[in-house]
Chains A and B, each alone.
Chain A
Amino acid sequence: MESSESAKKSQGIKPNKFKEHLRKWAPVIVLIGLCTIFAMVNKRFIDPWNMARLLSSAAIPLVLTMGATYIILMGSIDLSVEGILALTGVTASLLVANDFTDNQWGYWAIPVAIAIGGLLGFCNGYLHVKLKTPSFMTTLGIGFACIGIATLFLSGVTVRISDSGFRAIYLKRLLGLPVAVWIAFAAVAFAYFFQQRTRIGRWIYAIGGDEETAEHAGIPIGRTRIFAFTMAGFFCGLGGVLAAAQLGQGHALMGSGRLFLTITAVVLGGTALSGGTGSVLNTVVGVLIVVVVNNGMILLGMPSFVQQGVQGLLIIIAVALALDRSRVAIMK
C-alpha cells in the first residue's frame, strides 16, 4: 500500500527535536513540578516520614502496573486487575492464620497466591488468544468471575488475618521503608530487566508496534501474548498478597479502585494505549505522579471524592497530551 508508505515517510521527517524530547520527558517534568508545588504549599510534604508514607502507598500500584505495562505495550488491556487481586488476596488471607479457617500456612501462602494469580493471568491470555476475543472483554469476564469466586469463598464476610509474620510484610521496616516497598522495588527491577534483556520483552514491543510485521518476522504472537498475560497475573497475585498484608484482612471487594489507578498510572507514565512505545520505567514515574497527587490532596485536606474526580481528569489529559494526532485520523 503506497498510502501507508507515504504516511511512514511523513513520520520520517522530524522537524522539531525539542518537541520530541519534551514529549518524552513530560511525565518526569510533571512529577517534579507537582512535588515542587506541594512542597511549597505544605512543608510537611517533603519530610522523610511523608516520603516513606508516599512510597508505602506506591508499593502495590507499582507491582500491579508492571504487568499492566506489558499488556498495554502490546496494545491490549487487562481489566481483571481488581478481580485477580481480590481472589489472590482472599486466598492468602485464608491460608495464613486467620479467623475463618484453621490454616496456618505462614509464608507458604505467598507462592500459592502468586501462582494462582499466574494461572488466572494464563486463563486471560489463553482465552484471549485461542478464542480470539478482545482482551478487554476476556479480562473483564475473568475479573468478574474472580470476584464471584472470592465472594463464594467467604460467603460475603471479611476474614481477619492474625498471622503477624505475614502482616510484617507491610508493618516491618527495613532502612526506614516497609518490606513491601522493597518487594515493589524488586518487582520493578525484575520487570525492567525482563523488558530489556529477553526475547519476549522485545516481542512485546514488536507486537504493539505492528502485529503483522511481527508475525512476518516469525514471532510466536499467540505464545508471547499468553506469556505476557501470565506475567501480569503473577504481578496481580503479588499485589493481592501485599494488599492482604497491608489491610490485615481479606474480602471480595479488596481490589476496588485498583484498576483505574493502574491504567491511569501506566498512561500517565507515557506508555501509549495503542501499544509499542513506553516502558516499565515510564510507569514508575506514572505511579509516582498518581501517588503524589493523592498524597498532596490529602495534605491539602481535599475530600476523597474530589481526589477521584482529579484522577479521572488526569487520565484524559494524559491521553490527550500523549497522542500524536498527526498519525491517527479517528480513534475508535
Chain B
Amino acid sequence: MSSHLKLRDARKEFPGVVALNDVNFEVRHNEIVGLVGENGAGKSTLLKILSGVYQLDKGEFLLSGDVINLKSTRDAFDHGIGMVFQEQSLLLNMNISENMFLGREDMFVHGGILNKKAMFQATEAELEKVELNLSPKLLCSELTFAQRQLVEIAKALSLEKSHGGSVVVLLDEPTSVLEKSEIDLLFREIRKLRERVSFIFVSHRLDEVLEVSDRIYIMRNGEVVGEMKAADATLSSLHKLMVGRELHHEYYREARQREPGKQVIFEANKIGKNGMFRNVSFSLHEGEILGIAGVIGSGREELARCLAGLEILDDGEILVENQALALSEPRNAVKKGIGYIPRDRKVEGVVNSFSVAENITMASIQKICSWGFIKKAFEEGIAESSIKQLGIKTPGVHTRVGSLSGGNQQKVVLAKWRYAGARIMILDHPTRGIDVGAKEDVYELVRDMAEEGLSIILLADTLEELIGLSNRILVMKDGNTTKEFDASTGSKPEQVDLIPYMV
C-alpha cells in the first residue's frame, strides 16, 4: 500500500508545552489508522495539524508524496482531508443540506442563483452513504446528537465527489455520543468505505480502536511511543504504552493523603437533571477528596456544573452541613461556601483583564469593602500573601491575569476561593492544559486544601490522576452512578478496575 498522508519529524510547540515532539506518522491508501493516547498526549494537536487548524513549527507534511502546507481547515478540505471534530461543527440554525455544502455552494450555482433542488439531491445521496434517512431540509438543531455526528461524517465523505479516491477522513472520538447500534453502523460504513477512503480513527475506547483499525499509533507526552498492527495488539499492550509507567505514587503526593473527617459536609440526595444524569446520591466528608470518573456523556460534567450552582437541578436535594440548599444561582452556592474551578479558565475562572489582586478578591468583595468602598491597600496585602502562599509566579499584584501562564492562572482561581472561605471545592479538570511542573503544584495545592479541612469533588484529566488524588471514587455511566471505589492510601483501585463500569 502506498503512502497517502505522512508527517515527518513533525514538531509543534505552544508557550511552555511541546505538544508534538518530532512525530512521524503515516496513513497508507485505503487504511484505517487508529490513534490512542491519554488526554494531553498530543492526539488533538496532531489532528489539528492534519486538518489545517494548526501549522507545523518544524517537519514536513506530505500528501500522496507531495509536501503541502495547509493554511486552514478549508484548505485541508480542498486537499481531500475531511475532519469530523469532537466538538461538532454544524451550524444549528441551518438545515442539513446547507451545512453539508457550506462554503462549497459554487458547485450548485448557475448564473449566481443557487440550485436548491440539486443541492438537496446531492445531500440525500451523501446521507444515504451513512444510512441516514432524513430530509435535507431539516434544521440541524432538530437532530439528535448521534444524527448530527452522522451528518458530519457524511459531510466529510462528500469530498469523494471532488477527490475521487484520495480522501482522508479524520474521526475524532466519533463514538463517544453514539449508541451501540449506531456505533456498529458507523464501523460497518467505515469498513465499506475503506475501499475508497482512508481513515484516522481516534477514540478513548481502546476496544473500538482494536476492532476497527488496521494499524494503531500510540502517543504519550507529545511523542509516538508505539506503532503496531491491530492484529498484533491487545488491550493491555496498548494500555501499557499509553500510560507509560507504573502508577507513580509520589507524583500525586499520596503520602500526604489524609483520612477524611467524620463530619459530613455535603450531601447529594437522589439528584437529577433531565437528559443528563439521574438518581445520584453521595456524601462528602470533611477533608475528603471525592473523584468522579466517567467518559464524555456519562453526565459527570453536568453533575459538576449543577453542584456548583451553574445549572439548575430538576430532581433531588443538596444538603450543605445538613441544610437544604437552593442551588439556583452561583451566588447562592458561593454564599454556602462552594467554590468551582472550571475547566475553561478563560470563560468562567478568571477575568483576564483584571489584575491578580482583583481576581483573588472577586468572590468576596464585601470582605475588602468598608462603606461600599474598596480598601485598595488591604486588597493588595491579601493578594501578596496569597501569592506567597500558593507560589503564584507573577511580576506583581497588579499584573493582568491574562498575561500569566495557565498554571499560574489556575492558582489565582484557587486563591480566590480560598480567600472567599470556600469549604467545598469542585475541581473540574484543574490540570487541563497546564504543563507537568504546574500540575505538580496543583496536586500540592489539592493536598493542602484537604489538609485544611476543605472537601473536594474532583473531575480529573486522566484516570491515573483521579485515582492518585482521590480518597473515594464514584463511577458514572450514561447518567447513572455505577460503582463506588474506596481509594485510601495503599488500597487504590487500578484503572482497569474502573473501566468496566465506565464503558
Contacts and interface: CB of A to CB of B under 8 A. Distances in A.
B352 interface: no
B55 interface: no
A214 B103 contact: yes
A4 B105 CA distance: 27
A3 B275 contact: no
Interface string A188-219: 00000000111101110110111001111111
Nearest to A199: B105
A97 B284 CA distance: 85
B231 interface: no
A49 B414 CA distance: 70
A24 to B, nearest CB: 11
Interface stretch (A11-19, A132-140, A167-175): A11-19
Interface residues of A, number: 35
Contact of B92 (A6, A8, A219): A8
Nearest to A8: B88
Interface string B65-89: 0000000111101100000001111
A198 B114 contact: yes
B268 interface: no
A201 B114 CA distance: 10
Nearest to A219: B103
A306 B275 CA distance: 47
Contacts of A2: 86-87, 296, 301, 343
Interface stretch (B138-146, B194-202, B355-363): B138-146
B486 interface: no
Contacts of B102: 202, 206, 214, 217, 219
B275 A10 contact: yes
A2 B302 CA distance: 10
B94 A11 contact: no
Contacts of B297: 9
A276 B93 contact: yes
Contact of A209 (B73, B92, B148): B92
Contact of A10 (B75, B78, B276): B276
Contacts of B105: 199, 202
Interface in A204-248: 205-206, 208-210, 213-219
A230 to B, nearest CB: 16
A197 B116 contact: yes
Contacts of A1: 87, 344
Contact of A11 (B53, B75, B92, B109): B92
Given A3-B301, A5-B86, A9-B177, A206 B275 contact: no
Contacts of A14: 141-142
B91 interface: yes
B106 interface: yes
B15 interface: no
Given A3-B344, A197-B116, A198-B114, A218 B98 contact: no
A197 B91 contact: no
B112 interface: yes
A65 B297 CA distance: 43
Contacts of A209: 91-94
Interface in B353-393: none
Task: Name, among B92, B104, B113, the residue most crowded by chain A CB atoms within 10 Å (CB to CB).
Answer: B92
A202 B98 CA distance: 8
Nearest to A10: B275
A215 B105 CA distance: 14
Interface string A269-294: 00000001100000000000000000
Contacts of B177: 5, 9
Contacts of B344: 1, 3
A218 B148 contact: no
A1 B172 CA distance: 13
Interface in A274-320: 276-277
Interface residues of B, number: 44
Q: Is the interface of B mostly helix, strand, loop or mixed?
A: loop
A199 B114 contact: yes
Task: Name, among B86, B89, B91, B310, the residue most crowded by chain A CB atoms within 10 Å (CB to CB).
Answer: B91
Contacts of B305: 3
B109 to A, nearest CB: 6
Task: Name, among B98, B103, B305, the residue most crowded by chain A CB atoms within 10 Å (CB to CB).
Answer: B103
Given A218-B77, A218-B103, A276 B112 contact: no
Interface string B270-303: 0000011000000000000000000011000110
Contacts of B112: 198
Interface string A38-57: 00000000000000000000
B114 A197 contact: yes
A271 B296 CA distance: 34
A218 B92 contact: no
A288 B310 CA distance: 40
Interface string B243-278: 000000000000000000000000000000001100
A11 to B, nearest CB: 6
Given A209-B91, A218-B74, A13 B275 contact: yes
A217 B275 contact: no
A213 B114 contact: no
Contact of B93 (A12, A215, A216, A277): A277
B145 to A, nearest CB: 5
A5 to B, nearest CB: 5
Contact of A216 (B72, B143, B310, B343): B72
Given A2-B343, A214-B91, A218-B72, 4 more contacts: A196-B116, A198-B109, A202-B98, A217-B102
Top 9 A-B pairs ranked by shortest CB distance? A218-B74, A217-B103, A209-B91, A276-B93, A218-B103, A209-B93, A216-B73, A217-B102, A199-B105
17 contacts: A2-B343, A3-B301, A4-B87, A5-B88, A11-B92, A13-B275, A199-B114, A208-B93, A210-B91, A213-B89, A215-B72, A216-B72, A216-B74, A217-B74, A218-B103, A218-B104, A276-B93
